[in-house]
Structure 1
Amino acid sequence: MPDSLGPRLKVGVVVPSTNTSAQPELDALRPDGVTNHTGRMVIDDDPMVDEPGFEHVMHGIRRSTRPAIRGVVGCDPDCVIIGVSPESHWEGTKAHGRVLDAMREAAGGRPVTMSPDAIDAALAAHGVRRIAVITPYLPVGDDPVRRFFGDNGYDLLRVHGLGMPSPAKIAHISETALRDAVKEVDDADVEAIVQVGTNVAMARLAAAAEFWLGKPVLSNNVVLYWHALRQNGVADRVRGFGSLLAEH
């Protein structure tokens, strides 16, 4: 018999323990009959202002991701979302397949959604290649994001980092700061704006910005959840969070 509250789809989600934005945003996106079940990668809120500090945070995420996945698969989800962006981009495009395979193995063979695949699919759905990107990071975190988009053939016109010094501080980014960042990166030659970082609460702001700019504005959490739903047969159009979930 199907799960009483999630008869259509049970989504496992793993996020860093410092992340306070992904869980409420993903819960707001749920269609009827879909439930989310969150596990946490236990990390410290360490500084990531230089490469050794950023790598230290990444090491904590790598060490704790598999235990977090094992913790959430106990409820037998249909799929798993890996809700952390830097780990998806830090090792480069060539390493992504290996990382994804390792996550699927930890999830017992279940479908796994990670940011690189979800963002690629979202940009393909909109048919755009000329983009600007907003990150929550200092330059040391912006560099691998820039490399990821470049290696995947996107015309990356602008990158704007919001300079947060630690993982937990990312959740402190205000809608005002995000609005200003959108203004900073937008131009007539930009076909779409992409926000990376799952601890950035940008789902609603992105939808509003998209309406006023007349172009896709993709927030990381919405993109991840959209991809997980569509990969697993849930085609509901969810309104209020931008054209991706409403039209694709």
Structure 2
Amino acid sequence: MKGWRARIGFLVPPGNPTLEPEMMELAPEGVSVHFTRMTAAGPAGTHSGQEERNRSQVESLPGCVRLLAMVSPQVIAMAHTATSYTLGKAREAALVAEMEGLSGARFITAFGSVLAAFAELGVRRVAYATPYSAEMTAQGRQHLESCGLTVVSSGHLAGVRNIYEENSERAYAIARQVDRPEADVIFLSGVGMPTLEALKPLEEDTGKPAISAASAMMWHALRTAGVNCSIKGYGRLLEEH
């Protein structure tokens, strides 16, 4: 039987080609990963109409969650960080409760996983980097600060044509750009931008933890499912916690 240790389900934005290979790369022995794509309107991976796409994805969630629940996962994760910035804390909490009622599984979000990772690492001063527009980056910064964190610096990639065409080298570059001596942690938002290969080099070069929405989401999903193992090569969160 696949997933004899745990089964984890992911709700994927429709145009995202990054999430499935990164989650399969991180999945430890005995853990199976399963995917359903959400529905969204507008061109995938672009800044245009981003909030509208976020809202349409949320509207598609009940049907998608019911489909994913058919494989009996212990945990279902909504793999889209910026949706949390659009929803806000109260609406996200209500959404989590609703989806758990529909699925019978634990339901987590990418951003909720980031908050859990910050708490686990004991960090509060954040250097924040994104592949988003300036407007969405500012919205994300405001959301982080509303959760009691201090964003010491923030920045976004310049010249992004499509988030899903970005790479780990660019993720590393924007992370180094936003880093400040007073930051406790470097946070790369957005599960559509490849980040896994950048995390260990960032930690080696800055001496501080580096997490991405993707690494935090898998870490949180595993811990929520009761799987406690070290995954080496992707930063101290997955290796030591």
Q: TM-score, normalised by structure 1?
A: 0.91
The match for 2:80 is: 84
TM-superposed deviation, 1:44 = 4.2
User: May I ask how many residue pairs the two structures share in their alignment?
Assistant: 240
Matched, 1:59 2:52: no
The match for 2:122 is: 127
Q: Distance in 1 between matches of 2:220 and 2:68?
A: 19
TM-superposed deviation, 1:17 = 1.1
Q: Distance in 2 between matches of 1:188 and 1:43?
A: 39
The match for 2:228 is: 235
Amino acid at match of 1:70: R
Pair 25,49 (structure 1): closer, same or farther in 2 beyond 3 Å: closer
TM-superposed deviation, 1:35 = 0.1
Q: Distance in 1 between matches of 2:216 and 2:107?
A: 14
Q: Distance in 1 between matches of 2:159 and 2:113?
A: 24
Q: Distance in 2 between matches of 1:246 and 1:171?
A: 27
2:107 to 105, 112, 131: 112
TM-superposed deviation, 1:104 = 1.6
Q: Distance in 1 between matches of 2:18 and 2:132?
A: 16
Determine if contact 1:133/1:160 at 8 Å carries over to the other structure. yes
Q: Secondary structure at the match of 2:155?
A: strand
The match for 1:14 is: 11
Residues 60-114 of structure 1, C-alpha deviations (whole Å, 9 max, x = no match)? 21222222222211111121111111112212223221121122233x2310121
Q: Distance in 1 between matches of 2:226 and 2:169?
A: 36
Q: How much is the aligned-residue C-alpha RMSD, in angstroms?
A: 1.7
Q: Secondary structure at the match of 1:39?
A: strand
Query: Structure 1 runs of 4+ off > 4 angstroms?
Result: 163-166
Q: Distance in 2 between matches of 1:82 and 1:137?
A: 18
Identity of aligned residues (%): 25
Q: Distance in 1 between matches of 2:144 and 2:55?
A: 23
Pair 91,164 (structure 1): closer, same or farther in 2 beyond 3 Å: farther
1:155 to 131, 150, 154: 150
Q: Secondary structure at the match of 2:85?
A: helix
Residues 146-173 of structure 1, C-alpha deviations (whole Å, 9 max, x = no match)? 121111111101111225767xx21211
Bigger mean CA offset, 87-96 vs 183-192: 87-96
Matched, 1:204 2:197: yes
Amino acid at match of 1:203: L
Q: Secondary structure at the match of 1:7?
A: coil
Determine if contact 1:21/1:199 at 8 Å carries over to the other structure. yes
2:67 to 52, 67, 71: 71
Q: Distance in 2 between matches of 1:23 and 1:49?
A: 22
Pair 165,174 (structure 1): closer, same or farther in 2 beyond 3 Å: closer
Listed as ranges, the gaps of 5+ residues in structure 1 are none
Q: Distance in 1 between matches of 2:63 and 2:17?
A: 19
Q: TM-score, normalised by structure 2?
A: 0.93
Matched, 1:30 2:27: yes
Q: Distance in 2 between matches of 1:211 and 1:173?
A: 22
Amino acid at match of 2:54: M
Q: Distance in 1 between matches of 2:50 and 2:10?
A: 23
Determine if contact 1:18/1:43 at 8 Å carries over to the other structure. no
Determine if contact 1:7/1:33 at 8 Å carries over to the other structure. yes
Residues 165-198 of structure 1, C-alpha deviations (whole Å, 9 max, x = no match)? 67xx212112232222122111211110111111
Listed as ranges, the gaps of 5+ residues in structure 2 are none
Q: Secondary structure at the match of 1:200?
A: coil
